[in-house]
Amino acid sequence: MAGDTEQLLKALEKMEEKITKNINNNIDQKFERLTKELQDIKLTNKDQEKRISLIERQLREKNLIFFGVPEGEKSYEELEIKIVGIINKKMEIECSSRDIEAVQRIGKKEIDKIRPVKITFVRLGTKIKILKLKKSLESSSIYIKHDYPQKVLEIRKTLKEQVRIEKEQGNKAVIKYDKIIVTKNTESSKNKPNFGQKRPLNITPPQTKNTEESRNELIPNADMQTNKKNKTMSYGIRQYTQNRNKDNTTPENQ
C-alpha cells in the first residue's frame, strides 16, 4: 500500500513538472512574439516619424518668419500690403501680392507684444532672394528667420553650444536644419615643413666653381689625397729607373 502511494506521488510530481514546463514554454513564446511585435511597431513608428518630418519640411520649404512687423492691420489684405511694402521698399526687391500665397500672424494676441508673421511664397526663388538680402533690414527692428518645426527649433538650440565650442577650437561650424557641419582647421598642418617634398623646379642649386679650389671645398682633404697620389707615382718611377739601371749593368762596368 505504501509503495503504491509513493509511486502515485512520483507520478504527480512528474505531471506537475511537465505542466509547469509547458506553461513556461508558452509564456516564453508569447513573450518573444510580443517583443518582436513591439520592435516592429517601434520601427514602423520611426519610419512614420521620418515621413512626417519630411512632409512637414516640404510644407515649410517656401515659408519665412518676419519678426518685429508692427501690428495694427485690421484685415488680411492690410497685412499682405504691409509685408509687400517691406519687401519692396526696405529690401528693394520686386514683389507683389501675386508672389505671396499666404500671410498670417502667429500666436495669441497680447498687449505690448508684436506677433511674428509667417509668409508662404508662391515660388521658392522669391524666398531665396529675400534671404540673401536679409541684412538690408539690419537698420530696422525687423528680422527674418526660417520656418522650423518646434522639434527642430529645440534641436538647433542644443546645437548652438556645440557650434560655440567648435569655433573656440578654430574650426568652422554651421547648423544646417537639424544637424551641425564642422570643417576642421588645417592651417597648422599647412605651416608644417614637408621634408618629403621635392625641390621646386624654379629653384636652382647654387652654381659651383669648376676649379681646383672648389674641388677642395667639396672634397675634404683633397690636397692630402693629391699629395699621396703624387708621392706614390714618384716612388714607382724611381724604383723603375733603378731596376732598369741594374739590368743594363754589364760585367765590364763592374
How many other C-beta atoms are found inside a 10 Å radius of the C-beta of residue 142? 18
The answer on 114 and 76 residing in a single domain is yes
The answer on 86 and 129 residing in a single domain is yes
Banded pLDDT at 5 (limits 50, 70, 90): confident
pLDDT of residue 215: 47
User: Is 254 domain-assigned?
Assistant: no
User: Is 164 domain-assigned?
Assistant: yes
The answer on 136 and 92 residing in a single domain is yes
The answer on 169 and 105 residing in a single domain is no
Closest CA to 171 of 186, 152, 151, 155: 186
Say which residue, 78 or 233, is predicted with more confidence. Answer: 78
For 160-203, how does the pLDDT look when each residue is reduced to its tens digit (9 = 90+)?
888 888 888 888 888 888 888 888 877 644 554 454 444 444 44
User: Is 194 domain-assigned?
Assistant: no
User: Is 41 domain-assigned?
Assistant: no
pLDDT of residue 234: 44
DSSP 107: S
| Total count of domains within the chain | 2
Range of the domain at 129: 63-147
Give the residue from 102, 120, 147 where a domain finishes: 147
Task: Tell me what the mean pLDDT of segment 201-229 comes to.
Answer: 46
For 62-84, how does the pLDDT look when each residue is reduced to its tens digit (9 = 90+)?
999 999 999 999 999 999 999 99
The answer on 176 and 117 residing in a single domain is no
pLDDT of residue 144: 95
User: Is 98 domain-assigned?
Assistant: yes
Say which residue, 98 or 205, is predicted with more confidence. Answer: 98
pLDDT of residue 220: 47
Helix, strand, or coil (residue 144):
strand
Tell me the β-bridge partners of 104: 118
Banded pLDDT at 106 (limits 50, 70, 90): very high
For 108-127, how does the pLDDT look when each residue is reduced to its tens digit (9 = 90+)?
988 889 999 999 999 999 99
C-alpha torsion 13→17→22→25, nearest 10: 170
Tell me the β-bridge partners of 173: 182
Angle at 145 between CA 143 and CA 146, to 5 degrees: 160
User: Is 228 domain-assigned?
Assistant: no
This prediction has a pTM of: 0.56
Q: Mean pLDDT score of the chain, rounded to an integer?
A: 78
Q: Give the CATH number for residue 134.
A: 3.30.70.1820
pLDDT of residue 87: 95
pLDDT of residue 214: 45
The answer on 112 and 158 residing in a single domain is no
The answer on 122 and 80 residing in a single domain is yes
The answer on 167 and 110 residing in a single domain is no
